Structure 1
Amino acid sequence: MKNVALVGYGVIGKRVADAINVQDDMDLIGVCDVINDWRIQNAVRKEYDIYAATTDAEKQMKASGISVKGNLQDLLDKVDLVVDCTPKNIAAKNVEVYKKQGIKFIVQGGEKHQTTGHSFSAENNYKSAVNLDATRVVSCNTTSILRTLTALKRADLLDYARGTLLRRATDPWESHLGGIMNTMVPEKDIPSHQGPDAQSVDPDLDVITSAVKVPETLSHMHYWNVKLKKEASKEEVLNAFKTSSRIKLIHYDQGLVSNNTIKEMFLDMGRPWGDMYEVALWEDMLKVVGDELFYAYVVDNQAIVIPETIDAIRALTGIETDAHKSIEKTNESLGIG
Structure 2
Amino acid sequence: MKNIAVIGYGVIGKRVADAISKQDDMKLSGVCDIISDWRIQNAVRKEYDIYAATPEAADNMKAEGITVKGNMQLLIEKSDLVVDCTPKKIAEQNVIIYKTQNIKFILQGGEKHETTNHSFSAENNYQSALNLEATRVVSCNTTSILRTLTTLKKAGLLEYARGTLLRRATDPWESHLGGIMNTMVPEREIPSHQGPDAKSVDPDLDVITSAVKVPETLSHMHYWNVKLKKNTTKEEVLKAFKTSSRIKLIRYDQGLVSNNTIKEMFLDMGRPWGDMYEVALWEDMLKIVGDELFYAYVVDNQAIVIPETIDAIRALTGIETDALKSITKTNISLGIN
TM above 0.5, one fold?
A: yes
Correspondences of 1:103-122 after superposition (within 5 Å): 103-122=103-122
Structure 2 residue aligned with 1:218: 218
1:11-160 matches, cutoff 5 A: 11-160=11-160
CA distance in 2, matches of 1:186, 1:114: 26
Q: Which amino acid aligns with 1:195?
A: G
Give the Cα separation in 1 of the matches to 2:164 and 2:109: 19
Structure 2 letter corresponding to 1:266: F
The whole-number CA distance in structure 2 between the counterparts of 1:232 and 1:181 is 42
Residues 161-172 of structure 1: pairs in structure 2 closer than 5 A: 161-172=161-172
Instruction: Give the letter aligned to residue 291 of structure 1.
Output: D
Could you tell me how far 1:46 is from its partner in structure 2? 0.2
**Corresponding position of 1:277:** 277
Specify the SS of the correspondent of 2:176. coil
Determine the C-alpha separation between the residues in 2 that align with 1:33 and 1:193: 29
Partner in structure 1 of residue 304 of structure 2: 304
| Structure 2 counterpart SS, 1:68 | coil
Q: Alpha carbon RMSD of aligned pairs, Å?
A: 0.4
1:291 Cα offset (Å): 1.2
**In structure 2, what is the Cα distance between the partners aligned to 1:157 and 1:268?**
35
CA distances 1:235-293 after superposition (whole Å, capped 9, x unpaired): 00000000000000000000000000000000000000000000000000000112100
Cα deviation 1:66-116 (Å, max 9, x = unaligned): 000000011011010000000011101000000000000000000000110
Alpha-carbon distance between aligned partners in 1 of 2:78 and 2:319, rounded to the nearest angstrom = 18
Aligned to 2:323: 323
Amino acid at match of 1:322: D
Give, in whole Å, the separation in 1 of the partners of 2:273 and 2:111. Answer: 25
Q: One-letter code of the match for 1:45?
A: R
Structure 1 counterpart of 2:9: 9
* 3-state SS of 2:164 partner: strand
Question: Structure 2 CA distance, aligned partners of 1:261 and 1:239?
Answer: 25
Residue of structure 2 in register with 1:202 after alignment: 202
| Separation of aligned partners in 2, 1:56 and 1:305 | 31
SS in 1 for 2:216: coil
Residue in 2 that maps onto 1:232: 232
Unaligned runs of 5+ in 1: none
Q: Within 2, Cα distance between the matches of 1:114 and 1:8?
A: 21
Q: Size of the alignment, in residue pairs? A: 337
Task: Kindly state the Cα deviation for residue 123 of structure 1 after the two structures are TM-superposed.
Answer: 0.2
The amino acid of 1:329's aligned partner reads: K
Distance 2:209 2:76 in 1: 39
Distance in 1 separating the partners of 2:178 and 2:331: 34
Q: Shift of the alpha carbon at 1:326?
A: 0.2
Q: Deviations over 1:132-177 (max 9, x none)?
A: 0000000000000000000000101000000000000000000111
Q: Write the distance in 2 (CA, Å) between the matches of 1:286 and 1:90.
A: 41
Q: Structure 1 residue 212: deviation in Å?
A: 0.1
Deviations 1:172-210 (A, max 9, x none): 000111110001000000000000000000000000000
Show the counterpart of 2:185: 185
What residue identity is the alignment partner of 1:68? V
Deviations 1:202-245, CA, capped at 9 Å, x for gaps: 00000000000000000000000000001110000000000000
Aligned counterparts of 2:98 and 2:311: Cα–Cα separation in 1 = 20
Aligned equivalents of 2:108, 2:24: Cα separation in 1: 23
| Distance in 2 between residues matched to 1:73 and 1:168, nearest whole Å | 35
1:190 match: secondary structure? coil
Identical columns (%):
85
Distance in 2, matches of 1:121 and 1:58, equals 35
SS at match of 2:212: strand
